């Protein structure tokens, strides 16, 4: 019997115990793979935002409106290159439970500020020409099976039209991609002039201004100049880089990184105690067998290697199952979260890190029982019942 087969036989002798250990390890790595992937996707937009892009919102809260007239005053600040603005629309397509990541934006200036938004020139011109036109990100288009030229109704759970309806009719003018900010591909953009002329409240106001600067070295000075310009007015502003704004927005949902770290650390600590204690008990049950193996010529290091191999195999099997199921679940729900987070798929770095944690878990949990097997004396082992 070779060493590998002996390790497999030892793991299979108590099938229920082995299965329960695998389930425990599976849960730990399922949580790790899912939560770590979510965290990376959640902060992806912060990391990808252009360094020369700034955002101004209401100083009290970013959900409160600002006068659209601020756009001209921001554009007049020295060092500002392009200015645009947008309103959160709160739209949904068919199902009110599936809220679209949808904004009313000023089309020409929006495409200037977000120059990394890519779509064919004909589609760009179609949006600029059609007040009832929409442009949608590739992820959103794929999710709802939309095509250029489709006529679709979109309703809002916030705004109503002057005719009493909550539904707007649109024509899809274009489908865009964004290689830098993949979360943007989950967005839907309507024209702000169409929005502003038809809503019953909130006219001539916007939620935020986005603008680019001529140099990133001017960002701080420009931000201070804009906020100083509107200081002591009824609608004061706070201005920061797009990356800082995204991080602040994420922080309002809580310290995601800390929460994930605590959850994963707690799961691993519990699994470490469970698996380690169970393996110690398993080795104690096999004391006589280990003594017999030593009598037959198996060295202490060989026994140590066998026990560590059992622990590593158990940890790796559980980790592969947990990470695999987490990757599958993330793929299934990625279309639902499109737009609100980045690409919600398990990356190879997360998977590789998970395997590394599995190896460490296997070595740590197997260390004490392996050391016991190494130091076991033949006479003492044969004397135990």
The CB density around residue 256, as the number of other CB atoms within 10 Å, is 15
pLDDT at 23: 86
pLDDT of 169 > 70? The answer is yes
- Which domain range does residue 71 map to? 65-234
Q: Which DSSP letter does residue 99 get?
A: B
With a cut of 90, say whether residue 259 has pLDDT above it: no
The answer to whether residue 51 is domain-embedded is no
Instruction: Give the number of domains in the chain.
Output: 2
Instruction: Name 167's Cβ contacts closer than 8 Å, sequence gap at least 6.
Output: 153, 154, 155, 156, 161
Q: Residue 346 domain-assigned?
A: yes
Judged against a pLDDT cut of 70, whether residue 160 lies above it is answered with yes
Structural domain includes residue 244: no
pLDDT in tens, 17-32: 778 888 888 988 888 8
First-last CA distance in the chain: 25
Residue 78 inside a domain? The answer is yes
pLDDT at 229 over 80: yes
Looking at residue 373, its pLDDT comes to: 54
In the structure encoding, which two tokens stand for residue 308, read together? Answer: 């560590």
Q: How far is residue 272's CA from residue 290's CA, in Å, rounded to a whole number? A: 24
Encode pLDDT of 56-84 as tens digits.
999 988 789 999 999 999 999 999 999 99
- CA-wise closest residue to 338 among 178, 107, 121: 178
Pairwise pLDDT comparison (359 vs 250), residue with the higher score:
359
Q: Which of 164-168, 196-200, 230-234, 279-283 has the lowest mean pLDDT?
A: 279-283
Residue 51 contacts residue 196 (beta carbons within 8 Å):
no
CA distance 269 to 257: 18
Same domain, 104 and 209: yes
**Over residues 171-200, mean pLDDT:** 89
> Does residue 59 fall inside a structural domain?
no
**pLDDT at 276 exceeding the cut of 90:** no
Compute CA 44 distance to the chain's CA centroid, rounded to the nearest angstrom: 7
Residues 14, 138 within the same domain: no
Diameter over CA atoms, the chain? 94
pLDDT of residue 206: 94
Q: Which residue has the tokens 């070595």?
A: 363
- DSSP run (H or E) holding 80: strand 80-88
- Confidence category of residue 381, pLDDT binned at 50, 70, 90: very low
Q: Check whether residue 170 and residue 261 sit in a common domain.
A: no
Band the pLDDT of 380: cuts 50, 70, 90.
Answer: very low
Mean pLDDT of all residues in the chain? 81
- Of the candidates 198, 202, 135, the one whose C-alpha atom is nearest the C-alpha of residue 168 is 198
Assigned domain for 240 exists: no
- Same domain flag for 101 and 230: yes
Residue 169: both structure tokens together: 């009719």
Q: What is the pLDDT of residues 299-310, one digit of tens each?
A: 556 666 677 777
d(CA 118, CA 129): 18
292-327 exposure pattern, b = at least 16 Cβ within 10 A, e = fewer:
ebbeeebeeeebbbbbbbbbbbbbbbbbbbbbbebb
Given a cut of 90, is residue 45 above it in pLDDT? no
Residue 35 pLDDT greater than 70, yes or no: yes
When mean pLDDT is compared over 252-266, 284-298, 364-378, the highest value belongs to: 252-266
* 276 and 356 part of one domain: yes
Answer yes or no: do 112 and 178 share one domain: yes
Residues 221 and 91 in one domain: yes
Is the same domain home to 80 and 199?
A: yes
Same domain assignment for residues 288 and 345:
yes
Reported pTM: 0.67
Is residue 84 within 8 A of residue 105, CB to CB? The reply is yes
Distances (CA, A) of 109 to 13, 165, 169, 278, 292: 69, 29, 23, 64, 81
Q: Are residues 285 and 342 in the same domain?
A: yes
Classify 57 in phi/psi space as left (phi over 0), alpha (psi -120 to 50) or beta.
beta
Domain annotation covers residue 86: yes
Same domain, 213 and 78: yes
- Do residues 71 and 208 both lie within one domain? yes
- The answer as to whether 120 is a domain residue is yes
| Tokens of residue 114, six digits | 């977000």
Burial class from Cβ neighbours inside 10 Å (0-12, 13-18, 19+) for residue 141 reads buried
């Amino acid at each position: 019997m070779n060493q590998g087969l002996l390790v497999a036989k030892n793991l299979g002798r108590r099938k229920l115990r082995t299965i329960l250990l695998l389930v425990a390890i599976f849960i730990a790595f399922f949580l790790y793979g899912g939560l770590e992937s979510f965290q990376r996707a959640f902060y992806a937009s912060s990391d990808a935002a252009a360094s020369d892009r700034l955002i101004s919102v209401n100083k009290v809260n970013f959900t409160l409106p600002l006068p659209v007239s601020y756009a001209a005053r921001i554009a007049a600040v020295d060092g500002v290159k392009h200015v645009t603005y947008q309103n959160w629309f709160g739209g949904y397509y068919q199902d009110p439970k599936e809220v679209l990541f949808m904004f009313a934006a000023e089309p020409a200036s929006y495409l200037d500020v977000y120059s990394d938004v890519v779509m064919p020139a004909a589609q760009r011109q179609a949006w600029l020409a059609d007040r009832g036109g929409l442009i949608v990100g590739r992820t959103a288009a794929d999710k709802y099976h939309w095509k250029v030229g489709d006529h679709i109704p979109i309703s809002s759970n916030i705004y109503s039209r002057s005719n009493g309806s909550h539904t707007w009719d649109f024509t899809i003018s274009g489908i865009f991609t964004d290689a830098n900010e993949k979360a943007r591909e989950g967005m839907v953009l309507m024209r702000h002039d169409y929005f502003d002329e038809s809503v019953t409240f909130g006219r001539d106001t916007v939620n935020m201004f986005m603008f680019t600067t001529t140099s990133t070295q001017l960002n701080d000075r420009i931000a201070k100049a804009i906020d100083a310009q509107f200081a002591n007015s009824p609608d004061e502003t706070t201005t920061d880089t797009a990356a800082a704004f995204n991080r602040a927005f994420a922080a309002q949902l809580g310290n995601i990184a800390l929460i994930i770290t605590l959850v994963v650390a707690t799961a691993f600590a519990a699994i470490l105690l469970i698996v380690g204690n169970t393996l110690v008990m398993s080795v104690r049950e096999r004391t006589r067998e280990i003594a017999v193996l030593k009598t037959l010529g198996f060295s202490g290091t060989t026994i140590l290697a066998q026990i560590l191999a059992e622990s590593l195999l158990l940890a790796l099997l559980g980790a592969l199952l947990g990470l695999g199921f987490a990757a599958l679940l993330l793929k299934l729900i990625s279309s639902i979260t499109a737009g609100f987070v980045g690409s919600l798929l398990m990356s190879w770095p997360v998977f590789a890190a998970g395997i590394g944690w599995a190896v460490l878990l296997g070595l740590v949990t197997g260390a004490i029982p392996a050391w016991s097997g190494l130091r076991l004396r033949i006479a003492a082992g044969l004397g135990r019942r």
